[in-house]
Structure 1
Amino acid sequence: MSELDWYLQINLKARHLRLLVTIDTYRNLSQVAEVTHVTVPAVSKSLAELERGLGLTLFSRTAQGLIPTPYGDCLIRHARSMLTILHQARDELKALSSGAEGKVHIGMLPASASVLLTQALSLLKQRSPGTNVTVIEGTTGSLLPELWQGHLDLVVGRLPPPDTLGSFEEKELLEEPVTLVTGRQHPLARRKTLTWADLHPYPWILPPVGSILRDPLERALEAHEVPLTNNYIETLSVHVVRAHLQVSDCIAVMADTAANDATQPQPLHTLPLSLPRLLRPAGVLWNRVRGLTPSARLMVSCLEETAGRLAEKGQGKR
């Protein structure tokens, strides 16, 4: 066993990990000493002992402060991941000791998973009231890094292109079409027949540039010679879309399950114009390297069962 192997496997402690992350955050020994409630010499000594034990220089001392070397960058990245795992273990142990059954951290892509996830959470609570859940809304670009770093257990929503998955495992849950919708008061809602040209005068609510739906939607509309004017709102929030459709003549694009959600007090109108398959199915992602906790596996099972029920109701296909 080399000196590096011995130190990493035998002598590296959680306090070393916290020290690395804190130094990387503040880049200044005085600030590190202040937030860790020790003296500057004590911080300097601990860092020197760590570097000596590893046989590597982790930080360069510069006029701008402590700057990580390539060795430091590598170890800091892993230190953050290991601390996240330790925090999750702490939370699970606390939950078990208090009588709870675990906790699941879920990222949700709001434009495509609101109905699926809401009903799956209800099913989870029926089966395991002691399993608690944290849900964070976000985009693919913001949620996948959190999933990779271990801050999230699952991400639920429209599955991203396969070439972006890397170390993520995926499970397809629900194939649901994307539809064009308006409020019930919209002039087009009173038309029995409709052509693509009839959409020209009206403003839009669009998914933001860079979201997985924006480019394919623009291509589909261009194919039907429907121009996107400068009169539009961009949002991924289903709640904002619903609310604005009720008070405007906007047209929006929405997943079929959300558009026909019977629990909503103000139903929407689906325009009788068919869009091609623009996106992959709704599904769930997790980090195959980290695997799934028992609580996360139960959540996946609830998502699968919910997707089956929605498919039986005609709100999508398995």
Structure 2
Amino acid sequence: MATPLDWYLLRNLKARQLRLLVSLDDMGNLKKVAEATHVTLPAVSKALAELEKGLDLELFTRTPQGLRPTAYGQCLIRYARTMLIELQQARDELKALSSGSGGKVNIGVYAASTSVLMPRAICLLKQRSPTTNVLITEGTTSTLLPQLWEAKLDLVVGRLPILSPSSGLEEKWLLEEQLKLVVRQGHPLSHRPQLEWTDLQDYPWVLPPMASQMREPVERALIRNGLDLEKNYIETSSVQLTRSYLHQTDAIAAMANAAAFDPSSSLSVLPLDLPAMPRGAGVLWNRNRAPSPATKLMLDCLDDAATKLRAREI
């Protein structure tokens, strides 16, 4: 049997009320919401009261510091954010269809692992559909995965994190990531036919940060081979910064296979073995959202770019 709550959510809840909930959560103050939305304070207060009455639930607690969402409010606000994003994406896709555009795909990338795969995939996308546009957001696992879950991003591309079964995210491996040691062309070690680990001892290093997945296997390999990591090094996850620094110094760095052999990087790979990464590069998406045509096309382009990279055809 339907309850008043069922009736209100399914028949009477409006987009403006969803926006009100999100604004109240963001600002925590009725007056600030009224000013931001250009309506009167009594009108905002009345709208919240009507929503709480219709649901027969208290959504916010009034405190001296402002409004604080209750457990009911937190639940509804979470879904309100998702629904508003979905409505915006539906609007964008409808506009794209009506204008002849190929749509838009929002992609999050990790700085350390997309300098090769992502540009190639985008080039394929633009060859196949020039009017499909792409927004790239660079970040870390802690910043990008919540946006993927909240539908602010369609895909996240980079080194795959370890996911829990309850994450709601799907993944696809695209590239195995064997690690390589690289230096600038013309480096004193770059043209030696044979190399021992001890030959690396007196050179500066570029190391992955402690929190990165690369740090443990790189550090383990260097320590196992008797190298002192405490002397002279910098830490960064930026491939671009690493390349620039290598070109200006005699430093040594570890890079994933695709980045190390990228022709545009002009780096030399040293003939010493490092372990493969336990998790390869790939793409993540939210299994609870049906991908748009633009997102499906981007997935195909990522897959094709990875296939060509594995075959060393590009």
| Both proteins in one fold, TM over 0.5 | yes
Residue matched to 2:151: 150
Deviation at 1:164, TM superposition (A): 7.6
Q: 1:245 is matched with which residue?
A: 246
TM-score in terms of structure 2 length: 0.94
The residue aligned with 2:92 is: 91
Is the Cα contact below 8 Å between 1:181 and 1:268 reproduced in 2?
yes
| CA gap 1:163/1:204 in 2 versus in 1, 3 angstroms | farther
Equivalent residues in 2 for 1:46-65 (5 A)?
46-65=47-66
* Amino acid paired to 1:173: L
Alpha-carbon separation, structure 2, partners of 1:277 and 1:162:
19
Structure 1 unaligned spans of 5+: none
After TM superposition, the structure 1 = structure 2 runs for residues 19-30 of structure 1, keeping only pairs within 5 Å, are 19-30=20-31
**How many matched pairs?**
313
Looking at structure 1, the residues matched to 250 and 175 of structure 2 have their Cα atoms a distance apart, in angstroms, of 30
> 2:294 maps to which residue?
295
**Cα distance between partner residues in 1 of 2:284 and 2:292:** 14
Secondary structure of the residue aligned to 1:89 is: helix
Q: Is residue 167 from structure 1 mapped to residue 168 from structure 2 by the alignment?
A: yes
Q: Alpha-carbon deviation of 1:199?
A: 2.2
Distance (whole Å) between structure 2 residues aligned to residue 155 and residue 100 of structure 1: 23
Q: Deviations over 1:117-139 (max 9, x none)?
A: 11111111111111111111222
Output the CA distance in 2 between the equivalents of 1:218 and 1:272: 18
Shift of 1:280: 1.7
Q: In structure 2, list runs of 5 or more residues that go unmatched.
A: none
Aligned-residue identity in percent = 57
Asked if the contact 1:104/1:134 (under 8 Å) is kept, the reply is yes
Alignment match, 2:104: 103
Partner of 1:286: 285
Given the alignment of the two structures, is residue 312 of structure 1 paired with residue 311 of structure 2, yes or no?
A: yes
2:175/2:306 contact within 8 Å kept: yes
Would you say the 8 A contact 1:158–1:279 is kept in 2?
no
After TM superposition, give the deviation of residue 238 of structure 1 in Å: 1.4
| Separation in structure 2 between the aligned mates of residue 162 and residue 289 of structure 1, nearest angstrom | 15
Listed as ranges, the matches of 1:184-199 within 5 Å are: 184-199=185-200
**Alpha-carbon deviation of 1:216?**
2.7
Structure 2: distance between partners of 1:174 and 1:196: 27
State the secondary structure of the residue aligned to 1:225.
coil
Aligned positions of 1:114-129 closer than 5 A = 114-129=115-130
The whole-number CA distance in structure 2 between the counterparts of 1:176 and 1:59 is: 48
Distance in 2 (CA, whole Å) between partners of 1:206 and 1:137 is 20
Structure-2 change in CA distance of 1:99 and 1:192 (3 Å): same
Bigger drift between 44-53 and 199-208 goes to 199-208
Instruction: Give the whole-Å Cα distance in 1 for the aligned partners of 2:247 and 2:98.
Output: 48
- Any conservation in 1 of the 2:177–2:277 contact (CA below 8 Å)? no
Which one is further off, 97-106 or 224-233? 224-233
| Paired residue secondary structure (2:116) | helix
SS of alignment partner, residue 202 of structure 1: coil
1:78 to 2:73 alignment = no
The DSSP-based 3-state class of the residue aligned with 1:246 is helix
User: What is the CA deviation profile of residues 288-308 of structure 1, one whole-angstrom value per residue up to 9, with x for unaligned ones?
Assistant: 111311111111111111111
- Relative to the length of structure 1, the TM-score reads 0.93
Structure 2 counterparts to residues 13-52 of structure 1, below 5 A: 13-52=14-53
1:100-133 Cα offsets, whole Å, 9 max, x none, are 0111111112322221111111111111111111
Partner AA of 1:276 in structure 2? P
Q: Show structure 1 runs of 4+ deviating over 4 A.
A: none
Residue of structure 2 equivalent to 1:270: 269
d(CA) in 2 for partners of 1:163 and 1:52?
38
Counterpart Cα distance in 2 of 1:201 and 1:81: 54
